[in-house]
């Protein structure tokens, strides 16, 4: 389908009459039999069967060819001109048919034509070039087996880049590194990073464990499960590749199983009472699944509201981590979840929350907060978005490493950044700069310039 057509569809989907909470349609379209949330658990937790490595017959062999990252280093070493936006390496003839769940589903901005048009609405040539450089840094730090590690020093790097992370989840690192490629429209079928993405997806699928409760990719933490599910759903949505469908659906099934049946949230382990950060990733995964046209259970989605209610304060304007003690980063996550769960732009809690983020402004070092708050303000649009974006975008462009092996990456010295290190900071910074086209804004039709 033509990109222009897709945009038109997106506008149609998101243009419900003002005040009707158009976002609800995005994720709750199937919510016909709404459960009574005041009653007892909606999900009964069964024990996890000991997982078996999935002997995936459909998994074709890992591509033998290692992606060539030398052009990137010629640029970094000044032997070649920097990447120019406009001379986009994404060639439209490589795109074939963008099919599957993409139409009217929120991912339409990622096609090359749409990307270059939408990037002009808030992005700059410099921010788009920064995205491309960041992706090359990620590609250069992929391991031979297709995975990434938060300790990025293996392979070509040999410790040339500082700030390795300490977290050991390879599925979390791999999914977090893959997400920015998909966010810019690069899949395992299209664009210049095909091999990198294919190898990464291959690795994720090789780690998938089949259980009686769905496909377990958590490798010790539900963070990884949520991230991996997002990537699998997006890859399926963007390509229609049937060989990914089952594992994506199974990953969503495991998320549904792992929800705290009483409180509605998620934490590190299945069934635990939730926290806001882990819950945020699971809801984003369910949303990605819905955008991909996969089956997402409406009781699971609706129950997330109960968790958010338990950590909110100021009428839904602020959110805590495990309780109502509000923090900036969890407030941004909570507000984004509320937007996806259908709060209209006229909701007083949402309005007050956006005002709070607007007054607080981007953080100089907390990329977790910046990543979520940028999405909240992009969906919100208006003068608050413009104010936020001008600062956020220019800060990220200015702070990207420009020299040596670190060229293209980011690192901010924040207490929460140590675990994920340079890889985590780089992935979040790239996705923050992809905000213009990664997801279509939810309230596009319902805000008026003032």
Q: Name the H helices within 46-90.
A: 70-76
What are the angstrom distances between the C-alpha of 72 and each of 79, 126, 189?
Answer: 10, 16, 21
Q: Which is nearer to Zn ion, 69 or 322 (CB)?
A: 69
Q: 166 and 151 in contact (C-beta within 8 Å)?
A: yes
Bridge partners for 214 per DSSP: 211
Contacting Zn ion within 218-257 (CB under 5 A): none
C-alpha to C-alpha distance for 381 and 391, rounded to whole angstroms: 15
Q: State the Cα–Cα distance between residues 140 and 145, nearest whole angstrom.
A: 13
Nearest alpha-carbon partner for 428 in 404, 388, 392: 392
Q: How far is the CB of 101 from Zn ion (least distance, A)?
A: 35
Q: Tell me which long-range contacts 2-7 makes (C-beta under 8 A, separation of at least 24).
A: 3/98, 3/108, 3/111, 3/112, 3/113, 3/114, 4/113, 5/103, 6/98, 6/102, 6/103, 6/104, 6/108, 6/111, 6/114, 7/108, 7/109, 7/114
Residue 13 interacting with Zn ion (CB under 5 A): no
Residues 172-191 that bind Zn ion (CB under 5 A): none
Task: Choose one: 5-13, 98-106, 118-126, 161-169; the region binding Zn ion (CB under 5 A).
Answer: 161-169
For residues 207 and 405, which CB has a smaller minimum distance to Zn ion in the complex?
A: 405
Q: Which residues of 226-235 are buried (b: 16+ CB within 10 A; e: fewer)?
A: bbbbbbbbbb
Cα–Cα distances in angstroms (integers) from residue 399 to residues 127, 135, 181, 183, 373, in the given order = 11, 16, 20, 21, 19
Which residue, 120 or 404, is less far from Zn ion as judged by CB? Answer: 404
Strand stretches in 5-62, DSSP E: 52-53
> Do residues 275 and 322 make contact, with C-beta atoms less than 8 angstroms apart?
yes
- Burial class of residue 361 (count of CB atoms within 10 Å of its CB; 0-12, 13-18, 19+): middle
Q: How far is the CB of 228 from Zn ion (least distance, A)?
A: 24
Nearest distance from residue 76's CB to Zn ion, in Å? Answer: 11
Q: Which of 27, 161, 177, 354 binds Zn ion (CB under 5 A)?
A: 161
**Of 188 and 405, which CB lies nearer to Zn ion in the complex structure?**
405
The CB-of-405 to Zn ion minimum distance in angstroms stands at: 4
Name which of 161 and 311 has its Cβ closer to Zn ion: 161
Q: Least distance (Å) from Zn ion to the CB of residue 404?
A: 8
In the complex, the smallest distance separating the C-beta of residue 424 from Zn ion, rounded to whole angstroms, is 14
Query: 398-437: which residues touch Zn ion (CB under 5 A)?
Result: 405
Using the minimum distance from each CB to Zn ion, give the nearer residue, 73 or 447: 73
Nearer to Zn ion by Cβ, of 379 and 405: the residue is: 405
**Bridge partners of 298?**
none
Closest CA to 230 of 266, 293, 283: 283
- Nearest to Zn ion of 199, 405 (CB atom): 405
- Smallest gap from residue 185 Cβ to Zn ion (A): 25
Q: Is the dihedral of CA 346, 347, 348, 352 positive or negative?
A: negative
Toward Zn ion, which CB reaches closer, 99 or 160?
Answer: 160
Q: Where in 366-405 is the site for Zn ion (CB under 5 A)?
A: 405
User: Using CA atoms, how far apart are residues 178 and 135, in angstroms rounded to an integer?
Assistant: 9
Q: How far is the CB of 165 from Zn ion (least distance, A)?
A: 13
Binding to Zn ion (CB under 5 A): which residues in 95-114?
none
Instruction: Find the binding residues for Zn ion in span 325-344 (CB under 5 A).
Output: none
Piece in contact with Zn ion (CB under 5 A), picked from 106-114, 151-159, 187-195, 285-293: 151-159
Work out how close the CB of 83 gets to Zn ion at its nearest, in angstroms, rounded to a whole number.
18
297 forms beta bridges with none
Nearest CB to Zn ion, comparing residues 162 and 306: 162
Among 160, 269, 398, 402, which residue sits at the site for Zn ion (rule: CB under 5 A)?
A: 160
Minimum distance from residue 141 beta carbon to Zn ion (Å): 6
Token pair for residue 82?
């920097």
Which of the stretches 20-28, 104-112, 160-168, 310-318 binds Zn ion when contact is defined by CB under 5 A?
160-168
Q: Measured over all CA atoms, what is the biggest interatomic distance in the chain, rounded to whole angstroms? A: 66
Closer to Zn ion by Cβ: residue 108 or 406: 406
Binder among 8, 59, 69, 157 for Zn ion (CB under 5 A): 157
Please report how close the Cβ of residue 10 comes to Zn ion at its closest, in angstroms: 38
**Count of residues touching Zn ion (by CB under 5 A):** 4
Binding residues for Zn ion, per CB under 5 A? 157, 160-161, 405
């Amino acid at each position: 389908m033509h990109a222009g057509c897709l945009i038109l569809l997106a506008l149609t989907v998101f243009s419900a009459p003002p005040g009707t909470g158009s976002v609800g349609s995005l994720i709750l379209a199937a919510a016909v039999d709404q459960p009574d949330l005041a009653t007892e658990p909606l999900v009964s937790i069964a024990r996890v069967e000991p997982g078996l490595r999935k002997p995936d017959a459909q998994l074709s062999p890992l591509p033998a060819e290692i992606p060539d990252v030398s052009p990137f280093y010629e640029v970094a070493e000044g032997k070649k001109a920097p990447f120019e936006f406009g001379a986009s390496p994404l060639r439209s003839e490589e795109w074939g048919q963008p099919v599957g769940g993409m139409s009217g589903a929120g991912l339409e901005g990622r096609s090359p034509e749409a990307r270059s048009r939408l990037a002009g609405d808030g992005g700059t040539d410099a921010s788009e070039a920064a995205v491309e450089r960041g992706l090359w840094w990620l590609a250069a730090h992929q391991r031979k087996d297709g995975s990434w590690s938060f300790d990025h020093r293996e392979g070509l790097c040999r410790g040339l880049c500082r700030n390795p992370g300490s977290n050991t989840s390879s599925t979390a690192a791999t999914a977090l590194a893959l997400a920015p490629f998909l966010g810019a429209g690069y899949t395992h079928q299209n664009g210049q990073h095909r091999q990198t993405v294919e190898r990464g997806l291959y690795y994720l699928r090789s780690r998938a464990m089949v259980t009686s409760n769905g496909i377990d990719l958590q490798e010790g933490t539900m963070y990884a499960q949520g991230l991996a599910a997002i990537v699998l759903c997006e890859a399926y949505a963007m390509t229609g590749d049937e060989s990914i469908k089952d594992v994506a659906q199974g990953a969503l099934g495991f998320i549904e199983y792992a929800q705290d049946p009483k409180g509605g949230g998620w934490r590190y382990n299945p069934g635990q009472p939730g926290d806001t950060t882990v819950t945020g990733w699971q809801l984003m995964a369910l949303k990605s699944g819905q955008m991909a046209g996969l089956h997402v259970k409406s009781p699971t989605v609706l129950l997330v509201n109960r968790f958010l209610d338990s950590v909110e304060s100021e009428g839904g304007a602020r959110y805590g981590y495990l309780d109502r003690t509000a923090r900036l980063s969890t407030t941004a996550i909570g507000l984004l979840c509320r937007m996806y769960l259908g709060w209209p732009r006229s909701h007083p809690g949402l309005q007050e929350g956006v005002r709070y983020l607007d007054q607080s402004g981007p953080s100089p070092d907390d990329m977790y907060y910046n990543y979520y708050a940028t999405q909240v303000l992009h969906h919100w649009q208006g003068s608050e978005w413009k104010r936020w974006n001008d600062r956020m975008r220019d800060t990220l462009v200015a702070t990207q490493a420009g020299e040596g092996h670190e060229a293209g990456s980011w690192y901010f010295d924040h207490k929460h950044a140590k675990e994920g290190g340079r890889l985590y900071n780089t992935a979040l910074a790239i996705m923050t700069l992809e905000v213009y086209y990664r997801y279509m804004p939810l309230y596009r039709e319902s805000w008026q310039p003032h």
